[in-house]
Amino acid sequence: KGQEKWPRGDEKVWKDGLRGVDKDVPEITKSVVHHVQTSLARQAYNLDEAGAYQATALSVRDNLLPTKRAYYLSLEFLMGRTLDNALLNLGLKNKYSDGTTKLGFNLEDLLEQERDAALGNGGLGRLAACYLDSSASQELPVWGYGLRYQYGIFQQLIGPDGSQLEAPDPWLQHDNPWELPRADVTYDVRFYGHSERIDGMKAVWSGGQEVLAMAYDVMIPGYATKNTNNLRLWESKPKRGFDLNSFNAGDYERAVESSNSAAAITSVLYPNDHTTFGKELRLKQQYFWTAASLNDILRRFKNLDKPISEFPEYVSIQLNDTHPTLAIPELMRILVDEEDVKWDAAWDIITRTFFFTNHTVLPEALEKWPVPLMQHLMREHSDFKSMHAGNLTAFDVVSIFLQAVEKKFPGDRERLARMSLIEEGFPQNVRMANLACIGSRKVNGVAELHSELLKATIMKDFVEFFGISKFFNVTNGITPRRWLDQCNPRLSQLISETLQLPKATFLKELSLLEGLLKHVDEPALIKKWAAVKQSNKERLAHYVETTMGHKINTQAMFDVQIKRLHEYKRQTLNIMGVIHRYLAIKAMTAEERKKVNPKVVFFAGKAAPGYYIAKLTIRLIVNVARIINEDPETKDLLSMFFLPDYSVSLAEILIPASDISQHISTAGTEASGTSNMKFCLNGGLLLGTVDGANIEIAEEVGEQNVFFFGHLTPAVEDLRYQHMYHPVPIEQKCPGLAKVINEVASGRFGDGGVYEPLLNTIRQNDYYLLTEDFDSYIQALELVDKAYQDRTGWIKKSIRTTAKMGKFSSDRAIQDYAQECWNIESNKLP
Ligand code: 9GP
């Protein structure tokens, strides 16, 4: 613009370098220009030699820095809202608050405008989001890869009869300022078609459907650092607009058919956790995503100009559950068919690159895919026939692996059948957990108990085959930035004042919270701590009043259970407990009622749309709430709310307000749980079974500060056996629960007949052992009431709980992965 002169060199080279689009610009020029622009923030036209030196040096230094990266492949990233988080991580919240106020807007109101990015079902997706925050905050080179679903997890509405209704979540309806569309980053992905072998080993895959994967980048700002990591989400697009021939022939439907089917791949998130249905579109999503991600990872690796055998020195890939397991055969295909790597060498690369995290031992939640479906969709990978020399496909892993097993355990046919990737049947199925295990260098569970169960159950044969050192544990974690500072700013501030530390210090080193223990008996702290909890309860009460029109007694104890609806999580136990309490209060004299501890019970969570029993549980909760909240005799002592449309944002309001929260899964079924950590970090006490991460939380905070009940994991199998073969009528086994069930069946809370299928799961078989744990559950609730009567004692428990939550920071968890698996180090920025 007039005086802007290009001081040196070729103007076009500078301009192309600045735009970074021209493929002809050499990497080195691009890299120097990049540093001029970003690291130095200088203008090209007035760059002097000193500046050019800096930029050149930074560019050279890039080559010295450890370039290894880890990639976190997750089909779900439950990010929630971004604006508040970005402001806090960047340390800009106060400035923006002032700025927007001057412009006549309240920042807090603007934050409410944002729609949650709800690209996940529950704990698994939220864990991935916490891990991205921790990686960026610790300057670890970890990138996420996922899918950019047009529709996230469905919106939950409650119908007039109390049932869950589902509506789409068009979260991209308005512009999304947090993503950068990258039209320059696209890959072709092929489905169906046929493959032909040439010169023995290599195969060429052609025909079928080709779709385009286009990248959208989501920046992940680290906390109190300039470092920003990237989450790359793929969107599917038609490779060609529409079929002109059909269009010209007047067949408009056919003309757009293939472009519609391409766009459909990333249109919607599957709303199931812990269940798979073997749906073709889901498998297509998985292949589309893993193929695009691997292409991208390989392209970046190739820029390093290293031999392919060194791939694992520069790349680690974490498989978040079995969903990305197709990356294993896909990388095999690429290495053998496209990169000319010999089969054995390729397999060696694979088993040094991948790492697998299992998130559940529930058998129904372990993914299996029908062989015919795979063969149909992914021609090139899925020749499942036995090996014949010179014609190996990616899935010939099956036979080669089984030969090795046979060699180690000769004649053990049952073991072979259990360990095979193929489950026999009609149709045959591919067991994804087995494939993920044999293709990965390490396998981990997500809490101590879960990792032990993994080794003792679904991975037992594999432990015996590979040896124990392949298996390890990383207990889950949560980011204290979102789950303390952002959701509970007053508590964060009080902690900062008490410890006399800036927030940034303990939010980055959570074990410093232990310093609170010194102050636990100080009356001033106890008073302030109680005041923070009270204000959070009022914030929740305000939310309920404005959204549901109910007034809440904020002096009552707040008891919260929020999670996906599932029989193993036993929301049913909770609602049966509430009814039991209601009946008990009804039977009391006025004098007795005076001694009752007033309580408000909150539920929130979504049920998978096809999960009938889970949906029935919601209906029961809503209808019981309608009765007891209107009962003039009891409503001041007991009320209950089902808050619709549970989300990350709603959790941010509920968690800081809880006095007690419930994590009451049948022992051995909840792999870890992460909301338990969030509640405890915010000073809410825990009522739970001896399961998942509850156990480690109790180890940290001391058993005197948690309320445990119920049978232990080793007893569960025997009890189930008893139920199956020596059933005892519920009236005999658990009269208290039988009474509650009879009240529901008799229609006290609306048409009892409706709930029969739910009640029968308890009366018959009782797989999740409610009849076994009910009595001790009720006793535990009584202990909670008793402890709550002593308010000062309760607050001290609350402070002690928060103080001991350092272990559960996702910073620790991500360091465990970085050291145990990925072998990456922080790229400290100046
Ligand atoms: O059910 C587990 C939950 O316990 C755990 O906290 C979470 C994150 O590790 O993963 C859940 N698993 C799944 O959603 C499906 O495997």
Ligand 1 atom, smallest distance to 126 CA: 8
Angle, nearest 10°, between helix axes 83-90 and 123-137?
20
Q: Give the ligand 1 atom nearest the CA of 360.
A: 16
Q: Is residue 725 part of a domain?
A: no
Half-sphere exposure of 729 (CA within 13 A, CB side): 4
Query: Same domain, yes or no, for 459 and 520?
Result: no
Q: Which amino acid is at 821?
A: C
Sign of CA dihedral 740, 744, 746, 749: positive
413 CA → ligand 1 middle, Å: 33
Of 362, 364, 446, the residue with max ligand 1 atoms within 8 A of its CB, to mutate for a pocket test, comes to 446
403, part of any domain: yes
423 within 8 A of 429, measured Cβ to Cβ: yes
Question: What is each CA distance from 290 to 250, 287, 318, 328, 428, in whole angstroms?
Answer: 37, 5, 12, 9, 23
Rounded to whole angstroms, the Cα distance separating 413 from 441 reads 26
Q: How far apart are CA 645 and CA 155, in angstroms?
A: 6
Same domain for 631 and 553, yes or no, is yes
Do 469 and 381 lie in one domain? The reply is yes
pLDDT for res 61: 63
Is 446 a pocket residue for ligand 1 (Cβ < 6 Å)? yes
101 lies in some domain: no
Please tell me if the CB atom of residue 476 comes closer than 6 angstroms to any atom of ligand 1: yes
Query: 348 CA to middle of ligand 1, Å?
Result: 30
Do 277 and 184 lie in one domain? The reply is yes
Q: Rg of the chain's alpha carbons, rounded to an integer?
A: 29
pTM of the predicted protein model? 0.91
Q: What is the CATH number of the domain that holds 616?
A: 3.40.50.2000
487 ligand 1 Cβ < 6 A: no
Instruction: Output the pLDDT for position 22.
Output: 52
Task: Decide whether any atom of ligand 1 lies within 6 Å of the 276 Cβ.
Answer: no
User: Which of these, 773, 739, 784, 779, lies nearest to 759 by C-alpha position?
Assistant: 739
CA of 445 relative to ligand 1 center, distance in Å = 10
Residue 194: its H or E element: strand 194-198
Say whether 95 is catalytic.
no
Copy the structure tokens of residue 526: 């106890």
Pair 454, 516 in one domain: no
Can you tell me which atom of ligand 1 is nearest the CA of 123?
Answer: 7
Tell me, yes or no, whether 214 lies in a domain: yes
Is position 375 within any domain?
yes
CB of 811 sitting under 6 A from ligand 1: no
Q: Whose CA is nearest to atom 10 of ligand 1?
A: 124
Report pLDDT for 391: 47
In a shared domain, residues 297 and 171: yes
How far is the C-alpha of 525 from the C-alpha of 796, rounded, in Å? 10
Task: Please confirm whether the linkage preceding 427 is cis (ω < 30° from 0).
Answer: yes
User: Do residues 430 and 504 both lie within one domain?
Assistant: no
User: 187 forms bridges with which residues in the sheet?
Assistant: 213
Q: How many CB atoms lie within 10 A of CB 384?
A: 17
Q: Is 89 inside a domain boundary?
A: no
List the helix and strand counts (H, then E) for the chain: 36, 24
Query: Total domain count for the chain?
Result: 3
Q: At which residue do the structure tokens 């997750």 appear?
A: 74
Domain holding 36, by residue range, is 11-64
Q: How many beta carbons lie within 10 A of that of residue 200, not counting itself?
A: 10
| 337 close to 322: Cβ distance less than 8 angstroms | no
532 and 598 fall within a common domain: yes
Q: How many angstroms separate the alpha carbon of residue 692 from the centre of ligand 1?
A: 10
Catalytic residue among 431, 450, 533, 564: 564
Residue 492 in any domain: the answer is: yes
Query: Is 563 part of the annotated catalytic residue set?
Result: yes
* Nearest-angstrom CA–CA distance, 784 and 465: 47
Does the annotation count 442 as an active-site position?
Answer: no
**Does residue 635 carry a catalytic annotation?**
no
Q: Quick one: 459 and 532 in the same domain?
A: no
Q: How far is the CA of 121 from the centre of ligand 1 (A)?
A: 10
DSSP secondary structure of 452-486: HHHHHTTTHHHHHHH-GGGEEE----B-HIIIIII
Residues in the chain predicted with pLDDT less than 70, given as ranges, are 1-7, 20-25, 38-39, 41, 61-66, 197-202, 242-243, 275-278, 379-395, 829-830
Is the domain of 55 the same as that of 145?
no
Query: What 3 state SS string does 593-649 have?
Result: HCCCCCEEEEEECCCCCCCHHHHHHHHHHHHHHHHHCCCCCCCCCEEEEECCCCCHH
> Is 297 inside a domain boundary?
yes
Note whether 379 and 305 are same-domain residues: yes
Other C-beta atoms within 10 Å of 591: how many?
7
Q: How far is CA 45 from the centre of its chain?
A: 47
pLDDT for residue 392: 53
- One domain for residues 23 and 153: no
Amino acid at 332: M
Please tell me if the CB atom of residue 710 comes closer than 6 angstroms to any atom of ligand 1. Answer: no
Per-residue confidence (pLDDT) for residue 206, from 0 to 100:
77
Q: How far apart (Å, rounded) are the C-alpha atoms in residues 513 and 462?
A: 40
Cβ(89) to ligand 1 under 6 A? no
Find out whether the beta carbon of 824 lies less than 6 Å from any atom of ligand 1.
Answer: no
pLDDT of residue 504: 96
| Cβ of 674 below 6 Å from ligand 1 | yes
- Cβ–ligand 1 distance for 127 under 6 Å, the answer yes
Question: Which ipTM did the prediction report?
Answer: 0.99
Q: How far is CA 400 from CA 178, 273, 277, 394, in A?
A: 46, 32, 29, 11
In this structure, the strands spanning 228-238 and 77-80 are unpaired
